[in-house]
Amino acid sequence: MVETSWETSSRWYDDIVGDQGHYYHQEIILPGVIRLLNLKAGDHLLDVGCGQGVMARALPRGVKYTGVDASATLIKQAKQKSPKERFIIADATKPYSLEEKATHALCILSLQNMSDPAAALREIGKHVKGKILLILNHPCFRIPRQSSWGVDEAKKMQYRRVDRYMTPLEVPIHTHPGTGKETTTYSFHFPFSYWFTSCHQAGFSILEAEEWCSNKESTGGRAKMENRARKEFPLFLALFGQSLSN
C-alpha cells in the first residue's frame, strides 16, 4: 500500500490553501458545508483529513472542533492558525481516540487521497453519532488522468471526456511541478456507488446529494461554450448523511 500522507507536500498545500482557503473553498465549498451541516453552539465537529485546518477558521461561534490528519507538518500549521482548536496527528484509516463522540463529521476533499477511504468511514462511524458530510471531487467527471475537456468545433460545444470510470484507480500526483522540487502523493478514484456502499457499511445513511459547479466565467471567443460546459459538469459532489443508529 502506498504512503498517502501529504507530509512531503505539506508546504505546497499550505501555500495553495492559505489562511482562508483557495478560491473554491471560499466561493463554493465552505458556504455549502456551513449550509448543509447547520452547526449550532454545543455541536462537536470531527474534521477528518483536516489539512492545515481551513474549516476550523470558518466555524460558527460555540462549536467544538477536532481535526485529524496524518501530516505532522499540516497539523502544526493548523495549530498555529487556530490555536484554540484541537488537532490530532493520526492516520484516519486506523484507530484513533477522541475525548467524546462528535455530533457531526466532515471530510473536505480528503477521502480521495486515502487508499482505503472505506476504513476511514468505518472509523468515523465509531466516533460520530449524528450527521456526516463528504465533499468529493466529482467521481463521475473529475478522474485524475482519465477525464479531460475537449471541443467539438462542428457543434461549437465543449464536452467532458471520460476514459475510465468503474475501475478503482491509484494515480500519482506531482506537486511543485516544473520547480525541481517535485514530490509525489496519490489520488484514488472510486465510482459513485462505492461511496454509498461504504457510508452504509460504516453506519450512515445518505440523505441528500448535491453537485456543485464552478461559478467562474470565461471571456473571449469561446466563452459561451466554456460557460455552458462549466454549468453542465460539476466539480464537486456533496453527500450528506445521518447515523443509522439515531
Mean pLDDT over each residue of the chain, to the nearest integer: 91
Measured from the Cβ of residue 168, the count of other Cβ atoms closer than 10 Å reads 11
- Report d(CA 129, CA 66) in Å as an integer: 15
Is 7's pLDDT higher than 90? no
Residue range 66-99, pLDDT digits in tens: 999 999 999 999 999 999 999 999 999 999 999 8
Question: Is pLDDT larger for residue 133 or for residue 184?
Answer: 133
Please give the average per-residue pLDDT across 198-205, as a whole number: 98
Domains in the chain and their CATH numbers? 7-140+188-220+236-243 (3.40.50.150)
Strands 204-212 and 183-189: unpaired
**Is residue 1 over pLDDT 50?**
no
Beta-bridge mates of residue 241: 132, 206
Taking the mean position of all CA atoms in its chain, how far away is CA 107? Answer: 5
Q: What span, in angstroms and rounded, lies between the C-alpha atoms of 16 and 173?
A: 15
pLDDT at 3: 52
pLDDT at position 12, please?
Answer: 46
Q: What is the pLDDT of residue 184?
A: 80
pLDDT in tens, 33-48: 999 999 999 999 999 9
pLDDT at 10 over 60: no
What gap in Å lies between CA 96 and CA 107, rounded to an integer? 16
What gap in Å lies between CA 111 and CA 120, rounded to an integer?
Answer: 8
Q: Which of 17-26, 81-90, 132-141, 212-221 has the lowest average pLDDT?
A: 17-26
Please say if the pLDDT value at position 115 is more than 50. yes
Q: 58: burial class by Cβ within 10 Å (0-12, 13-18, 19+)?
A: middle
pLDDT for the residue numbered 245: 81
What are the tens digits of pLDDT across the range 154-179?
Answer: 999 999 999 999 999 999 987 766 66
Q: What is the arithmetic mean of pLDDT over 221-238?
A: 96
**Residue range 107-123: mean pLDDT, rounded:** 97
Residue 96 has which C-alpha cell? Answer: 484513533
pLDDT at 8 over 60: no
Question: What percentage of the chain has pLDDT greater than the value 90?
Answer: 83
Phi, psi of 71 (to 5 degrees): -90, 115
pLDDT of residue 9: 52
CA distance 135 to 133: 7
Contacts of 11 (CB under 8 A, 6+ apart): 73
pLDDT at position 51, please? 93
Give Cα 120 distance to the centre of its chain: 13
